[in-house]
Amino acid sequence: MKTLTKLMTATAITAVATIGAQAGSHAQKWDMPMAYSATNFHSENGVKFADCVREGTGGAIDITVHASGSLFKGADIKRAVQTGQVPIGERLLSGHQNENAVFGFDSVPFLATSFDASADLFKAAKPKLEAILADQNLTLLYSVPWPPQGLYFRDEVTSVADMEGIKFRSYNNATARLAELTGMAPIPIEAAEISQAFATGVADSMISSGATGYDRKVWESLNYFYEVDAWLPYNHVMVNSEVWADVSDENKAAMMACAETAAADGLEASKAYTQFTLDGLREGGMTVGPASEQMVGELKAIGETMTAEWLEAAGEDGAAIVDGFMAMMQ
């Protein structure tokens, strides 16, 4: 009897070990590149999402976040996911407006200048955005807005005329066009390269959120931040559609639940980070405040030009997005 009991116990232990080994062997290791610093709220939110997925799938999908453009530079992340070099990643899609103008929906100056307005704009754009991404072998999981975009300068600026010739960091078509229309010189610079670019004089200005400036300690080189609330761009977390198709329905449901949480948490973090980072810029020694009435008026006129240009480039899709957004705002 004792021998039989020992044999049954040994068999049971072996079976459990085998099941555990099989489960481990089926675990999928996913690398998730992100462009911004590990301390940025988008990156922190991405880590929480990865933790949620790991727990929700019982370890079947194990995501490792690579922040600061350490695995792929920001401009290369979308392509890396699209082609299956990595299964998942986060990207500012307005940086790919040259592929499809719709990607720039969230960078139309002064169209949506608050968190509530940007949420309505994203809701209006999301169906078309998802359809375009689907055609590119990408599935959208969640999206999170940045705080409102303001203007950074090394020297004081009170009008568009003061911007003439200033070297301006651009990160998408909208920022490059803004530079051109204000007489500045657009210079493409990745988020991870901002600090060095300003320190070495490669650029002297940019339009971005307080969050980016705070994360990169731009007060070490720049002196002014003007709150113009030009737009609220979105970061989007996407998965390769072929990889997604192989995920079980149960794990898809778990990941989408995590994605919904990440979208909600990211929005709240963005709102909280807005004032926190503006205070941080002040503490760093920068002058932070609203732009002059003259500069705001001149920028809004430029915004009207850029809106018309975007609508022409985006065609019927762009018109439908703006019409849908305006209907929600009424």
Q: Which two tokens stand for residue 70?
A: 């350490």
Single out the residue of 81, 73, 74 nearest to residue 31, CA to CA. 81
For residue 68, tell me if it sits in a domain: yes
Tell me: the pLDDT tens digits for 166-186? 999 999 999 999 999 999 999
Which domain, by its residues, includes 95?
Answer: 27-329
For residue 11, tell me if it sits in a domain: no
Tell me: the pLDDT tens digits for 232-262? 999 999 999 999 999 999 999 999 999 999 9
Tell me: the pLDDT tens digits for 95-123? 999 999 999 999 999 999 999 999 999 99
Single out the residue of 61, 73, 74, 210 nearest to residue 141, CA to CA. 61
Q: Which two tokens stand for residue 282?
A: 């002040």
Residue identified by tokens 């008026």 is 297
Helices 173-182, 293-329: crossing angle, 10 deg rounding? 140
For the chain, list the strands marked E by DSSP.
28-33, 61-66, 88-92, 138-145, 150-153, 167-170, 185-188, 205-208, 224-227, 234-240, 287-290
For residue 5, tell me if it sits in a domain: no
What's the pLDDT at 330?
86
CATH number for the domain spanning 36: value is 3.40.190.170
Position 27 confidence tier, pLDDT thresholds 50, 70, 90: confident
Domain count, the chain: 1
Distance CA 239, CA 247 (A): 11
**pTM of the predicted structure, to 2 decimals:** 0.88
Phi, psi dihedral angles at 250 (to 5 degrees): -65, -45
Report the side by side order of strands in the sheet with 185-188.
185-188, 167-170, 205-208, 150-153, 224-227, 287-290
Percent of the chain with pLDDT over 70: 92
Residues forming a β-bridge with 28: 61
For residue 216, tell me if it sits in a domain: yes
For residue 18, tell me if it sits in a domain: no
- Looking from the CA of 310 toward its CB, the CA atoms found within 13 Å total 30
Position 5 confidence tier, pLDDT thresholds 50, 70, 90: very low
What's the pLDDT at 279?
97
Mapped onto helix, strand or coil, the DSSP state of residue 217 is coil
For residue 239, tell me if it sits in a domain: yes
Tell me: the pLDDT tens digits for 28-62? 999 999 999 999 999 999 999 999 999 999 999 99
What are the DSSP calls for 123-192, one per residue?
Answer: HHHHHHHHHHHHHTTEEEEEEEEPPPPEEEESS---SGGGGTT-EEEE-SHHHHHHHHHHT-EEEE--GG
For residue 10, tell me if it sits in a domain: no
Distance CA 42, CA 59 (A): 23
For residue 9, tell me if it sits in a domain: no
Distance CA 214, CA 229 (A): 17
